[in-house]
Structure 1
Amino acid sequence: MGRTMEWAASAEHLGGFPRRLVFTAVGAFAKAVASLLNSSYVHNADTLIRLVRSRPPGVPLITVSNHMSTLDDPLMWGFKGFPTFDANLGRWVLAAEDICFKNAFYSYIFRLGCGIDAGKCIPITRGGGIYQEHMNEALERLNDGAWLHTFPEGKVSQDDAPIRRLKWGTASLIVRAPLTPIVLPIVHHGFQKVMPEKFMFSRRPPLPLCNKRIDIIIGEPIEFDLPKMRQMAISQTRNKSFHINGWPCTSPDVLDEAAQRCLYATISEQIRTSMEILRNFRKSILKS
């Protein structure tokens, strides 16, 4: 499978003018909805802004969050003080190919950074596995030291329920990146009221709703001792039989598929636990 319209995502495409244009337009939309038409309350915003603006050169950033509406991205970056309009600082986003890239027009617009996922979008084929070609593209962006945002739950859920089991794609990128990314968990609540899935006649509203409370809880970076975790995964899966799908071995420790599965599950659970702590922290703030 080739890479869908990758040239449109290049910063050099038409001198970068189309990208700046759509980032300005979508950024203005996000600011208006999140900061003017609704009330956004953000905890620990300085940590996110610092990592976006001034993390060490070449160090990639992965932010992970729950997924409560189709407008989570871009609205979650529309709070006051966040550099929403800077296309150079803008995130890359993993976006569903069957929704955002279903024709040439959509593909071009989403590659630039417009639409539901208003970052610089990378299409992901649902069910295509963690070693599909576009995951390699995401890995290349991390290798460049870029910022990537993912919704590791894999789909929208508007229930105020515990964080579900996470897909392994984000964990695989953390492991495969030559330089371990900074991983920052975020949990939000309120976008499901701004853009409910079943507003009228079981459909979404034509425009975002107003006068809602939005809470964005930003955590601290999650630390992974990857060398130790790799060795534990190898040890735990040695001499055990697993169903094999034909995954390639990974370097530098030459992890076979069984060890990869163990490692990805461990990392995903660590991320899920961090997100669940933030979800409960939000509830404790409301009670106090």
Structure 2
Amino acid sequence: MPVDGQPDAPSAPWRAASAFTMGAVGVLCRSFLLGLSTTEVHGLDGFLELLDERANVEERQRGLITVSNHVSVLDDPAIWGVLPLSYLFNPDNMRWGLASYDLCFTNKALSTFFTFGQVLPTHRTKHSQFGGLFQPTMTQAIRLLCRGPFIQPNDPPEKPNTSVASPDLIDPFSAGHLTYSTNGDDTFPAPSAYLSRRHSWIHIFPEGMIHQTEDKIMRYFKWGVSRLILESDPCPDVVPMWIDGPDQIMHETRTFPRFIPRPFKNVSITFGQKLDSDEVFGELRERWKRLRAKEEQKCGAMEVGVLNDALKVSDEAVKLREECTMRVRAAVLAVRRSRGLPNEDPKVGLVETYREEGSNREGKKDDGSIVKDM
């Protein structure tokens, strides 16, 4: 819950390290996209206007979600290289992302780098018992979109927490109420604990997996994006995007040296228009609020981003997430069509279509597409 008297922002050294990390990576991506690739960008002016409107943190009225297809391991951060340098060095007005815990947070160096880069550690169900739609990082993401600050109610300020079990990330704060744990043993800085992060910008790849295919279709969208939209207050702005070309820079069939991006490829990044979130999602959010109010009458008020069992798995809650997710996917498809691509077969957006893959989801599929769990 919001708590008065908390620091407005992390320490100056922390902010400087974050600005340097995000800016340096942004410069590298910008240099590659504009110097070693043929890159075209559509809709950027409108998106920059939106970021400019959000530049003053105290005046922000709602969070921002950008959502796109996912075609390569470099999609984020590469796509943000199209932003001007002044934006790249301003973490307060840059995106927060989600990345796999078992890939990006396995040691102190990686954990520090990605945390400074405003990336949240996310457990994948296939690789961790702590994964899933209701893991603590999703709570942090929802709170980042809201008007903070938020602290952990069960971790009071007088309880110090300066040790980190796994991953071994140095805790730069002096008290546990400014941190959170993803699995009960590790410790991460809680970004939503600061006024400077209120109504933040979060980018999400709802496919949850890299999907490379010649006909440029998307897999089904997972429900995490619906939690961000339904449970944030007020409804965030939503900007759909379409990216094409990073799959050629880092195609999954690439040979040695696999870690080096391939230059001289064609890249296209399209920012769609900001959705009228109240119109697109308003009715769904009203239904969600009524459902939540009904449950709170039974069990008492719940913290932002925290749900009881009924709000997790009841038929009505599941239906709301399905409808919301499909509306987000439709918005991304509209941007896809604006690039001259034909309508896709509706069944490719259904989870039932991919259940035939079984447990072996990665690799080349019968339809020629290549899937990578990220």
Report if TM-score (shorter chain) is over 0.5: yes
How big is the shift at 1:215? 0.7
CA distance in 1, matches of 2:251, 2:92: 31
**Secondary structure at the residue paired with 1:259?**
helix
Residue 88 of structure 1 corresponds to 92
Q: Report the AA paired with residue 197 of structure 1.
A: E
* Superposition map of 1:25-44 within 5 A: 25-44=24-43
Q: Distance in 2 between matches of 1:263 and 1:77?
A: 31
Report the CA distance shift for 1:80/1:131 in structure 2 as closer, same or farther (over 3 A).
Answer: closer
Residue 265 (str. 1) matches residue 335 (str. 2): no
Check whether the contact 1:64–1:186 (CA below 8 A) recurs between aligned residues.
Answer: yes
**1:20 deviation in Å?**
1.7
Query: Which ranges of structure 1 fall in alignment gaps of 5 or more residues?
Result: 1-9, 114-119, 236-246
Which of structure 1's runs of 4+ aligned residues deviate more than 4 A?
A: 224-227, 230-235
* Secondary structure in 1 matching 2:26: helix
Q: Decide whether the 8 Å contact of 1:172 with 1:264 is kept in 2.
A: yes
Q: Does structure 1 retain, via aligned residues, the 8 Å contact 2:211–2:218? A: no
Change (3 A) 1:230 1:142: closer
Q: Aligned-residue CA RMSD in angstroms? A: 2.5
Kindly state the Cα deviation for residue 110 of structure 1 after the two structures are TM-superposed.
0.5
Partner Cα separation in structure 2 for residue 211 and residue 279 of structure 1: 23
Using the alignment, how far apart are the partners of 1:18 and 1:233 within structure 2? 39
Count how many residue pairs are aligned between Structure 1 and Structure 2: 254
Q: Is the 8 A contact 2:250 2:262 kept in 1?
A: yes
Instruction: From 136, 141, 145, give the equivalent of 1:138.
Output: 141
Which residue of 199, 205, 219 corresponds with 2:258? 205
Q: Once the 2 structures are TM-superposed, how far is the Cα of residue 53 of structure 1 from its aligned partner? A: 2.3
Query: Following TM superposition, by how much is the alpha carbon of 1:284 offset from its aligned partner in structure 2, in angstroms?
Result: 5.3
Q: Distance in 2 between matches of 1:109 and 1:15?
A: 12
After TM superposition, give the deviation of residue 188 of structure 1 in Å: 0.5
Give the aligned partner of residue 3 of structure 1.
none
TM-score (norm 2): 0.63
Over 3 Å counting, the alpha-carbon distance change for 1:227 and 1:16 in structure 2 is closer
**Using the alignment, how far apart are the partners of 2:43 and 2:90 within structure 1?**
21
SS in 2 for 1:51: helix
Q: Between the two proteins, what is the percent identity of the paired residues?
A: 29
Q: State TM-score, norm by structure 1.
A: 0.80
Is the partner of 2:134 in helix, strand or coil? coil
Q: Tell me the equivalent position of 1:153.
A: 207
**Per the alignment, do residues 282 and 17 of structure 1 end up closer, same or farther by CA in structure 2, a change over 3 Å counting?**
same
Comparing 13-22 with 98-107, greater Cα deviation is found at 13-22
Q: What is the alpha-carbon distance in structure 2 between the residues aligned to residue 145 and residue 248 of structure 1?
A: 24
2:70 corresponds to 1:71? no
Measured against aligned partners, the alpha-carbon deviations of 1:50-82 in whole angstroms (never above 9, x if no partner) come to 222214613100000111111111111112646
2:268 is aligned, of 215, 231, 235, to 215
Match of 1:20 in 2: 19
